[in-house]
Amino acid sequence: MTAPRTPSDGPEAPLALLRTAHTADLRAAELDAARALMDLAFEGDFSDEDWAHGLGGMHALRYDADGTLLAHGSVVQRRVLHHGRSLRVGYVENVAVRPERQRQGLGGQVMSALERIVGGGYDLGVLSPSDEGEKLYRAHGWVSWPGLVGTLGPRGVEHMPDEEAPMLWNADLDPAHPLLIDWRDGDVF
């Protein structure tokens, strides 16, 4: 799959090495390449449900000069209830880099693009880090939530005392009050 060119690009135009686009604006081949990257990067431990969590929002895709997808991430809107407020959250999902290209700054490029989207359209950013990704997120200013977490689920508020702490970006929240995220099938965080 080759990297896309913008509609005004002529045949000699340079490739768009870092592209941001909504799920609806991605071609089927681009989505297939991103899904395949998740399987490759997570060594087959990435379900269709995990993939679906990252659809319906904005994607950041990093290509090489030949048009091969090297890195991907997405941000989708979710809601968090905190201390009597409902906050619009940019939830970061499906961040991955081709294994042979990790530790070369590509994940950082994707995160910078996603943080621009979060900063311009949401109250704060939230993500659930993998052990491998946590160092990248910390380098970008993401911090672990020190308070309690839960969800507003089908049976009302459900506290999740055993849930690993999510990471937040651009947030000034009081950890004395729990962070309740909207319900979804599969992993809530």
CATH number at residue 104: 3.40.630.30
74 lies in which domain range?
18-182
Judge whether residue 15 has pLDDT over 90: no
Q: Is 127 part of a structural domain of the chain?
A: yes
Domain count across the chain: 1
Instruction: Give the mean pLDDT of 163-174.
Output: 96
Main-chain dihedrals φ then ψ at residue 80, nearest 5 degrees = -125, 135
CB distance 30 to 68 below 8 Å: no
Q: How far apart are CA 94 and CA 53, in angstroms?
A: 8
Q: Is 176 part of a structural domain of the chain?
A: yes
pLDDT value at residue 7: 39
pLDDT band at 24 (very low <50, low <70, confident <90, very high): very high
**What pTM value is reported for the model?**
0.90
Q: Is 12 part of a structural domain of the chain?
A: no
Q: Is 23 part of a structural domain of the chain?
A: yes
pLDDT band at 22 (very low <50, low <70, confident <90, very high): very high
The residue ranking higher by pLDDT, 170 or 16, is 170
Q: Is 189 part of a structural domain of the chain?
A: no
Q: Which of 110, 104, 94 shows the shortest CA–CA distance to 33?
A: 94
**pLDDT, tens digit (0-9, with 9 covering 90-100), for 35-79:** 999 999 999 899 999 999 999 999 999 999 999 999 999 999 999
Q: Which of 124, 139, 133 shows the shortest CA–CA distance to 164?
A: 133
pLDDT value at residue 57: 98
Q: Is 7 part of a structural domain of the chain?
A: no
Radius of gyration over every alpha carbon of the chain, rounded to an integer in angstroms:
17
What are the CA-CA distances from residue 132 to residues 48, 93, 106, 155 (Å)? Answer: 21, 14, 14, 34
Burial of residue 23 (CB within 10 Å: 0-12, 13-18, 19+) is: middle
Q: Is 10 part of a structural domain of the chain?
A: no
Q: Is 47 part of a structural domain of the chain?
A: yes
Q: Which of 141, 126, 56 shows the shortest CA–CA distance to 89?
A: 126
